[in-house]
Amino acid sequence: MTSTSGLDVAARIASARSLLFVPGDRPDRIGKALVSGADAVIIDLEDAVRPDSKQYARSVLADAGDRAAAAHPLHSPQPLLLVRVNAFGSPDFADDIVVALASGVDGVVLPKFVPGREADEVDAAVCAVEARLGRTDRIPLIGIVESAAGLLGLSRSVELPSRVLRLAFGAADYHADLRISYRPAGVHTDFAMATLVIASAAAGLAEPLDSPYFALDDDEGLAAAARRARDLGFGGALCIHPKQLDIVNSEFGVRDAERSWAERVVEAWNAPSSAGRGAIRVGDELVDEAMVRRARQILDLLTG
C-alpha cells in the first residue's frame, strides 16, 4: 500500500515531470522502475500487455503496493505508483479498476479519454467500485487524450469529473485515429497539443503531459521534443525507458534564466516603492500584474 495522503498525491500528480511506463506482466522491470528516479511509475495493463497476459498482469498489480514499499526504505522518497487500465468499454476495464483500487495505487491513468458523457460514465463506474470496496476517497485519474473524439470533446467542454487531475497526449494513437502516419510535429500534432494546454488551463488543471518519445537512442531528439513541448505549455512527459528520465526531468525543470527573471520581478514588485502601482519597470521591461503572476508560478515550481 502507498502511504502518501490524498492531498500529497494530488500535488505530486500535478507537479510530476517524468512518468515511466512499465509492462504489468514484467514484475522484474517494475522493481527496477521503482528505483529509476521517475516522479511516477505507471504499471501498464493496456498496450504493453498481450490479451492472454492481462489476468497475470492484474495479479502482479495486486502486489504492487508491497513491492513499492520494499523498494524504498521509509526515509527514501517513493515515486507515485499509478496504473494504466484498459479503455472504458473494453472487456478488461472493470476488472482493472477493481484490482487498481484494491491494490492501493496512487492513481489511475485512463487511455482513450473522451471528455463529456463518456468521462461522466467512467466516473460513475469508478464511484460504484469505490463504494463496493468501502473506499471513502476518490482515486485520482490522468486522462490520455488520443483520439479525434477526445480532442473534440475538450474543444466543446472543459467540465471534467473532479477526480481528473491532469491530461496527457497520446500522439501515436491520435495519428492512427486520423489515419495518417505519426509525426512528432506538424499541423495535427500542434493543434492537439495546443488544445490540451488551453483545456487544462481552462479546467484549472496542471500543465498536460506530452506523449512518449519513441526513438530510444536519440537523446538529442528527445531533448528537443521535450523543449518544444515545454515551450508549448506542457509540464512533463510520459516515458517508455529509464534512460529518458534524466533528460525529461531536466528539460521540464525551471531554467536558470527563468528563475533569475522571476526573482527579479517578484522582488521589484514587492518593494515598498512599487506599492499601489499597476505597472513597474524591471530592467528594460515593463511589468504588470499578469507578468508577476507568471513569475510567482515559476517560483512555485521551485518550491513545490
Residue 270 is predicted with a pLDDT of 77
Burial of 31 (0-12, 13-18, 19+ CB in 10 A): middle
> DSSP states of 149-180 as a string?
HHHHHHHH-----TTEEEEEE-HHHHHHHTTS
Within 10 A of 94 (CB to CB), how many other CB atoms are there?
A: 16
Distances (CA, A) of 183 to 95, 171, 211: 34, 8, 11
**Residue 159 in grid coordinates:** 467540465
pLDDT, tens digit, 9 for 90 and up, residues 64-90: 766 555 555 554 668 999 999 999 999
The pLDDT of residue 40 is above 70: yes
The amino acid at residue 137 is D
Provide the pLDDT for residue 272: 75
Name which of 59-63, 217-221, 236-240 the model is least confident about.
59-63
Could you tell me the fold of the domain covering 6-251? Answer: TIM Barrel (3.20.20)
**260 three-class SS:** helix
Distances (CA, A) of 133 to 55, 78, 109: 20, 25, 20
For 227-267, how does the pLDDT look when each residue is reduced to its tens digit (9 = 90+)? 999 999 999 999 999 999 999 999 998 676 677 767 777 77
Please report, for residues 38, 112, 184, the alpha-carbon distance to residue 248 in angstroms, rounded to integers and kept in the order given: 10, 24, 16
Mean pLDDT of 194-208: 96
Q: Please, what's the largest Cα pairwise distance for the chain?
A: 69
**Tell me, what's the pLDDT at 185?**
85
What residue ranges do the domains of the chain occupy? 6-251, 256-303
DSSP 138: P
3-state SS string for 29-83:
HHHHHCCCCCCEEEEECCCCCCHHHHHHHHHHHHCHHHHHHHHCCCCCCCCEEEE
